[in-house]
Amino acid sequence: LQRKSDVIVIGAGAAGMMAAIRAGKRGRSVVILDHARTPGEKIRISGGGRCNFTNIHAGPKNFLSANPHFCKSALARFTPADFIAMVDGHGIAWHEKTLGQLFCDDSAKDIIRMLLAEMRMAGAMLHLGTEISGVEKTEAGFRVSTSDGHCEASSLIVATGGKSIPKMGATGFAYRLAEQFGLAVLETRPGLVPLTLDPGLLESIAPLAGIAAPAEIRHGRTAFREALLFTHRGLSGPAILQISSYWREGDEVVVAIEPDIDIAAHLKTAKQINGRQSPQTALGDILPKRLAQFLVDREKISGNMADLPDKALLRLAAGVQNWAVKPSGSEGYRTAEVTLGGIDTAALDSRSMETKAVPGLYFIGECVDVTGWLGGYNFQWAWASGFAAGECV
């Protein structure tokens, strides 16, 4: 382990590697430490193994934070186009999947290889399998004690991520370190996570497990239109993951299945054209058959379409497009893609990610109270905040 350098980065994930690259390219000597045996493990498993590395529409509106303005500066100074230029520079093929989400054609490992190559070019020294046992402020900067001895630097960048997926080595390291230096940490909770249901409700929707449908999920004034997935544990799919970041224990969410279709009008037409049809058949023209059956049963509707008063059809339509459901909880950090909350942005300079109270100490990436939507936004924050710190150390 190199004993003295200009910069120490703790955490060789997305944000830490980007910071190390930028600082190294500016001529700073950089040591980057990680307790894991391999760097960028979350990049490797991201986007189903293809890494949704950015979103071309990424802007401040796609992030949650107690201060929604905080992310603006960093996002403006390192944009999706900047990251795409790096990816193109390494000849990595990519495609837009949907909604501005960019994925590798081949493998997420291409992104890790790219970052490692850039770190080598920038002269950053990577030390893996290194446990951090303590951090102290010294007159000249910081002294970090590790399982491999200690090292010192004038700047310390903390990029150890959030609490999600503890199985993969996520720790609360950044939060504890912030507290050690007297910085405020906002309550953390799992985000982009499936929601669970009470046993009774779960039992009633058990036959739907595995069904996916386009949906709009609303929570207050926030709504997302993406796929909804029924599972053995509750509700999932991109629309649910998105709304989960806004949902709080005890809140209801409102589900509208096939939001682009006027279900009430469809049912009325079906009644006129083919009165002998059953309502599940009429609904089954639009929805998966099992889901149509479930919704008809739930409204306790029976008979042919011709027998049903318009009121019953409207009730059925409301059941499809105005279903208020109160999740019992979330699957928690075990499966959450991100951690909401974290280092209070009020403690940080938005240009550099440097703490105001402790000059030379920086926090970047997911440990900061900036959390993106599903769709490549979280990596864009990691790149942008990492670049911001690397640019200033």
CB of 365 to ligand FAD, least distance (A): 2
CB of 299 to ligand FAD, least distance (A): 37
CB of 353 to ligand FAD, least distance (A): 11
Nearer to ligand FAD by Cβ, of 291 and 382: the residue is: 382
Give the span between the Cα atoms of 362 and 280, in whole angstroms.
58
Q: Contacting ligand FAD (CB under 6 A), which of 5, 7, 9, 13?
A: 13
Q: Contacting ligand FAD (CB under 6 A), which of 376, 388, 389, 392?
A: 376
* Sites for ligand FAD among residues 147-166 (CB under 6 A): 159-161, 164-165
Does position 357 interact with ligand FAD (CB under 6 A)? The reply is no
Q: Contacting ligand FAD (CB under 6 A), which of 29, 73, 145, 171?
A: 171
Does position 16 interact with ligand FAD (CB under 6 A)? The reply is yes
Give the span between the Cα atoms of 117 and 123, in whole angstroms.
10
Nearer to ligand FAD by Cβ, of 294 and 362: the residue is: 362
Q: Are strands 212-219 and 185-191 parallel, antiparallel or unpaired?
A: unpaired
CB of 173 to ligand FAD, least distance (A): 3
Does position 35 interact with ligand FAD (CB under 6 A)? The reply is yes
> Interface mask (CB under 6 A) for ligand FAD, residues 265-294, using x and -?
------------------------------
Does position 390 interact with ligand FAD (CB under 6 A)? The reply is no
Contact 87, 107 (CB under 8 A): no
Give the span between the Cα atoms of 154 and 8, in whole angstroms.
8
Q: Roughly how many angstroms between the first and final C-alpha of the chain, as a whole number?
A: 21
Q: Which residues of 103-113 are buried (b: 16+ CB within 10 A; e: fewer)?
A: bbeeebebbbe
Nearer to ligand FAD by Cβ, of 8 and 10: the residue is: 10
Does position 258 interact with ligand FAD (CB under 6 A)? The reply is no
Contact 346, 182 (CB under 8 A): no
Give the span between the Cα atoms of 4 and 116, in whole angstroms.
21
Contact 337, 45 (CB under 8 A): no
Does position 173 interact with ligand FAD (CB under 6 A)? The reply is yes
DSSP secondary structure, 200-216, as one string = HHHHHHGGGTT-EEEEE
Does position 169 interact with ligand FAD (CB under 6 A)? The reply is yes
Q: With CB under 6 A as the contact rule, which of the stretches 29-37, 181-189, 221-229, 319-327 interacts with ligand FAD?
A: 29-37
Does position 111 interact with ligand FAD (CB under 6 A)? The reply is no
Q: How many residues bind ligand FAD (CB under 6 A)?
A: 35
Residue 145 Rama label (left phi>0; alpha psi -120 to 50; beta): beta
Q: With CB under 6 A as the contact rule, which of the stretches 34-42, 66-74, 321-329, 351-359 interacts with ligand FAD?
A: 34-42
* Sites for ligand FAD among residues 37-66 (CB under 6 A): 41-42, 45-47, 51-52
Does position 345 interact with ligand FAD (CB under 6 A)? The reply is no
SS (H, E, C) 26-84: CCCCEEEECCCCCCCHHHHHHHHHCCEEEECCCCHHHEECCCCCCCHHHHHHCCHHHHH
Contact 30, 9 (CB under 8 A): yes
Nearer to ligand FAD by Cβ, of 111 and 282: the residue is: 111
Distances (CA, A) of 333 to 22, 123, 219, 244: 31, 35, 21, 12
DSSP secondary structure, 146-194, as one string = EBTEEEEEEEEEE----SS-GGGT--SHHHHHHHHTT--EEEEEEES-P
DSSP 8-state symbol, 351? T
Does position 132 interact with ligand FAD (CB under 6 A)? The reply is yes
Give the span between the Cα atoms of 104 and 97, in whole angstroms.
10
CB of 327 to ligand FAD, least distance (A): 20
Which residues here bind ligand FAD, judged by CB under 6 A? Answer: 10-16, 34-36, 41-42, 45-47, 51-52, 132, 159-161, 164-165, 169, 171, 173, 337-338, 365-366, 376-379, 382
